[in-house]
Amino acid sequence: MVSIDEVARLAGVSTATVSRALSGRGQVSAPTRERVETAAKSLGYVVSSTASSLASGRTRNIGVIVPFLDRWFFSTVLSGIASALMRRGYDITLYSLTADGEQRRSVFADFLRRRRVDGVVAISIELGDEETERLRELDLPVIAIGGPNPRLTTLTVDDVAMARLATSHLLALGHRDIAHIGASPEFDIDFHIPTRRRQGFEQAMADAGVPAHPALFEPADFTIEGGFRAAQRLLGRPGARPTAIFVASDEMAIGAILAARELGIRVPDDLSVIGIDGHELGEFFRLTTVDQFPLRQGERAADAILAELESGAEAAPHHEPGRLPFELIVRGSTGALSA
């Protein structure tokens, strides 16, 4: 097994310099760091996580709390966090919250308190007062995506503004009979994202002087199948059908496009469909969407928590409302209202 002394001899530096260069902590010139990294690589030297932890008091491990692992948005944010952390030599430990209240309590009361992580990222989870207090008691950096939480540093995207942008796009194309596929109450527990998106939809309609008819709302579960079933119900009713649908997620919007195809309804000639998220399948389905760049959200959260760790100073909690970017991406699923 290669030792740190061998790396130091090959690089022509002290063992302390090797430690600083490979840990990323302390002042080391760029040429020296490159020389040390080249020596370590040529010898096959790997930093001992145990030794590094003992020497620095750090685990080089970040805990990530996530409500779902099988949903595209959360897995994409998680991928952004993981890739950014790996580039900086950090591992991650996942804590997946379920509907089981006791299991959720154990994450905050037991698992996170075992001091196996240097910081915590919470993805789109509305934390109660007790849970927030448990996190603050850890005396570790905590970054929350999706906030707001006035006691934690949070990175947020404006869901109301995204929904207004999506709805305004349909209105600008001449559509007035616009349906909305959102979420049922059980899928609106954390930060009420579906509710905020419905609010944005209704605000944009009201601003245009167009009533939002309750009969043109259908709940679903933020999956492709859920969007498919909801669109079937909307489009299969007797009487005049909507000319456009604003869908609260891209996965449900893809389901709506598939339902329209099955019913012989042409998209966008007979029906325009727009979603929110920036799903990787959106381009394949030519889906118009408001992209919230979830991969970048994860990368930004990782950068934020590492910046706090490397500064060595406790940052005051701050909230960045609407600071996460979003952008309207127009593709082939929306078009002007036919005469």
**Residues 297-307 pLDDT 10s:** 999 999 999 88
Cα–Cα distance between 75 and 234 in angstroms, integer? 30
| Higher pLDDT among residues 218 and 28, named by residue | 218
Average of per-residue pLDDT across 238-249:
92
Q: Are strands 91-96 and 61-66 parallel, antiparallel or unpaired?
A: parallel
**pLDDT of res. 325:** 92
**pLDDT of res. 239:** 78
Average of per-residue pLDDT across 100-123:
77
CB atoms within 10 A of CB 238: 5
| Higher pLDDT among residues 256 and 132, named by residue | 256
Cα–Cα distance between 8 and 16 in angstroms, integer? 9
In the chain, where does the domain assigned CATH 1.10.260.40 lie?
Answer: 4-56
Average pLDDT of the chain, as a whole number? 85
In the chain, where does the domain assigned CATH 3.40.50.2300 lie?
Answer: 61-157+294-320, 159-291
Question: What 3-state DSSP class applies to 249?
Answer: coil
Name the band, by pLDDT with cuts 50, 70 and 90, for residue 51: very low
Where is mean pLDDT largest: 21-35, 40-54, 70-84? 70-84
What is the percentage of the chain residues whose pLDDT exceeds 70?
Answer: 86
| Higher pLDDT among residues 156 and 114, named by residue | 156
Structure tokens at 185: 């109450």
- Fold observed for domain 4-56: 434 Repressor (Amino-terminal Domain) (1.10.260)
**pLDDT of res. 55:** 45
**pLDDT of res. 186:** 62
CATH (residue range 159-291) = 3.40.50.2300
Name the band, by pLDDT with cuts 50, 70 and 90, for residue 87: confident
**pLDDT of res. 137:** 77
Average of per-residue pLDDT across 51-80:
76
Cα–Cα distance between 45 and 4 in angstroms, integer? 8
Q: Are strands 288-291 and 327-329 parallel, antiparallel or unpaired?
A: antiparallel
Question: What 3-state DSSP class applies to 305?
Answer: helix
Q: What is the pLDDT of residues 162-200, one digit of tens each?
A: 999 999 999 999 999 999 999 876 665 555 788 889 999
- CATH ID of 61-157+294-320, from 3.90.550.10, 3.40.605.10, 3.40.50.2300, 3.40.50.1220: 3.40.50.2300
